[in-house]
């Protein structure tokens, strides 16, 4: 397994567990943006629809189920069980300004124009901006609880690992492309060399 993916998954899982434990232990969701958590739930739902169509590995399936389950558990705690502690007065970011443009971009820029691929692409784009309501909420209140900063730290660590993996895989792809180009160049030179030999033979015979 890719070490960057594993470390990223663990960082992401740590962020989610920290947030859930914070809400459950304090019996409060003060300082937590419910809108950000709804966006993350939407991210995992649209990204992991392939659970219904394919099986890659037990680890892969388990992590997907955990992400989806934890996301909706967090949303439930914020909007239902501990609703009285939810600070809706400061959680006022207009999420439609994120969802609508991201949805349009997913339709325009994707690898394959199919429902699952478009939804997967949508989830990738949305994840990159889903934290904005939380940051906006912090900017309005002017403070962030210690547990919230820990959550944001591990979430940032997860994103950095994801970018590192992307760079690593891109480098591998570039290396593979260069190897292929070298091989093609070698094949072409061999073909040219053999053609030259044939031409020489023909000239000599004449």
Distance CA 185, CA 73 (A): 56
Share of the chain above pLDDT 90, in %: 46
pLDDT digits (tens, 9 = 90+) for 2-59: 676 777 788 888 888 989 998 999 999 988 999 999 999 999 999 999 898 888 899 8
Query: What's the pLDDT score for residue 175?
Result: 41
* pLDDT at residue 159, as a whole number: 62
Q: With cut-offs at 50, 70 and 90, classify the pLDDT of residue 153.
A: confident
Distances (CA, A) of 71 to 19, 75, 84: 10, 6, 20
**Rounded to whole angstroms, how far apart are CA atoms 70 and 146?**
21
- As a whole number, the mean pLDDT across the chain is 79
pLDDT grade, residue 177 (50/70/90)?
A: very low
In this predicted structure, the answer to whether residue 182 has a pLDDT above a threshold of 50 is: no
Cα distance between residue 94 and residue 104, in whole Å: 17
Which residue matches tokens 């023909």?
202
What is the number of residues in the chain?
206
Q: If we measure between CA atoms, which residue out of 49, 52, 55, 67 comes closest to residue 11? A: 67
C-alpha distance from residue 110 to each of 18, 81, 104, 117 (Å):
33, 38, 11, 7
Helix locations, 91-145, DSSP H: 96-108, 115-127, 132-141
Q: Are 162 and 154 in contact (CB under 8 A)?
A: no
Tokens of 57: 């590995």
pLDDT-derived band at 189 (thresholds 50, 70, 90) equals low
Q: Give percent of the chain above pLDDT 70.
A: 70
For the whole prediction, is pTM greater than 0.85? no
């Amino acid at each position: 397994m890719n070490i960057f993916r594993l470390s990223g998954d663990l960082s992401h899982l740590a962020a989610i567990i920290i947030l859930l434990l914070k809400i459950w232990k304090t019996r409060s969701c003060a300082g937590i943006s419910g809108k950000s958590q709804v966006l993350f739930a939407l991210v995992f739902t649209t990204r992991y629809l392939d659970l219904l169509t394919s099986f890659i590995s037990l680890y892969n399936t388990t992590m997907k189920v955990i992400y989806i389950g934890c996301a909706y558990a967090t949303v439930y705690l914020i909007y239902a069980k501990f609703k009285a502690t939810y600070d809706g007065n400061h959680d006022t970011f207009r999420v439609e300004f994120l969802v609508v443009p991201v949805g349009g971009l997913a339709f325009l820029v994707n690898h394959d124009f199919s429902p699952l691929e478009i939804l997967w692409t949508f989830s990738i784009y949305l994840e990159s901006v889903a934290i904005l309501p939380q940051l906006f909420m912090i900017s309005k209140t002017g403070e962030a609880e210690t547990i919230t900063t820990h959550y944001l730290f591990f979430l940032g660590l997860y994103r950095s690992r994801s970018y590192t993996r992307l760079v690593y895989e891109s480098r591998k792809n570039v290396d593979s492309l260069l190897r292929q180009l070298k091989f093609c160049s070698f094949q072409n030179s061999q073909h040219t060399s053999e053609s030259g030999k044939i031409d020489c033979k023909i000239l000599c015979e004449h």
